[in-house]
Amino acid sequence: MDKYPAKMRYQDVGYAGHYDGARYQTRWAQFKNKQTHQTLMKALAFLKPGSTIIDLPCGTGRFGAFLSGLGFRWIGSDISAQMMAKSQEKVKGNDRVLGHIRSDAEILPFRDKSVDCFLSIRFLPHLPPDVKQNALKEMARVSRQWLIIDHTYRNPYKAFWRDIGTKIGVGSGGKKRPTKEEVFQEIERAGLRIHRVFPVSRFFSDNMLLLCSKV
Ligand SMILES: C[S@@+](CC[C@H](N)C(=O)[O-])C[C@H]1O[C@@H](n2cnc3c(N)ncnc32)[C@H](O)[C@@H]1O
């Protein structure tokens, strides 16, 4: 099994502390976090109340209290015990949180069709193509119906702002993103159907949330 940077980097107490602290403390980071939560709400509207959701990778638990607060039953899973330890602290005593399970996305320790929905945020764009296919197939196997996944894409409006930033010397020019169609093809190749696409912001973000189901 591949050892790609995103798999290794977070298995470190220092990095987990940094992610949980600095990552979401600036105003800009908080704004982006809020946008993601608001977009997620739109996809969650398709789930039945009380549905069970596996959040992989749960990281430091960005969505545990949020989803359980909306009435969903939540399971956090991640390869990094260090990241999950932070998540565990946040949901201690929450009876809609069914637990945390350490796992590798390519070989999930969950039974077929064991949850209503699989949630995966800030994960797939970090994976090498083969790993991404394996992970998507595993997520589809474990879910009874829904998958909510996010992915970056080449948003021409965002690229425009980014280019201006580069010209005036702020920002690094950013990463090369796949087109929306390329992302859709990868997801469909793993045997999933895309029901709805929710851009995080039509003009200012190159992130979208996809509500998918099994074909
Ligand atoms: C950018 S963080 C995203 C965490 C969370 N979803 C969020 O939005 O805050 C990426 C996470 O992916 C986890 N990860 C990387 N490779 C993994 C794998 N093969 N299986 C499970 N988790 C993995 C890392 O440990 C890390 O917690």
* Residue 24's pLDDT band (cuts 50, 70, 90): confident
Beta-strand ranges (E) seen in 90-138 are 97-102, 115-120
Unique residue bearing structure tokens 């209503």: 116
149 lines ligand 1 (CB under 6 A): no
On the question of a cis peptide bond just before residue 57, with omega within 30 degrees of 0, the verdict is: yes
Ligand 1 proximity of 105 Cβ (cutoff 6 Å): yes
Q: Which of 124, 114, 113, 83 is nearest to 100 (CA)?
A: 83
Structural domains present in the chain: 5-214 (3.40.50.150)
Counting residues of the chain whose pLDDT is more than 90, the rounded percentage is: 79
Residue 122 CA to ligand 1 centre (angstroms): 7
| 6 Cβ inside 6 Å of ligand 1 | yes
Ligand 1 center to 189 CA (angstroms): 22
Q: Which residue, among 32, 112, 23, 27, has the nearest Cα to 61 in the 3D structure?
A: 23
The mean per-residue pLDDT over the stretch 64-88 comes to: 98
Over 90: is that where the pLDDT of 1 sits? no
Residue 20 Cβ contacting ligand 1 at under 6 Å: no
Distances (CA, A) of 126 to 3, 8, 152: 12, 12, 10
Residues 89-137: tens digit of each pLDDT? 999 999 999 999 999 999 999 999 999 999 999 999 999 999 999 999 9
pLDDT at 173: 63
pLDDT in the model for residue 171: 66
Over 90: is that where the pLDDT of 160 sits? no
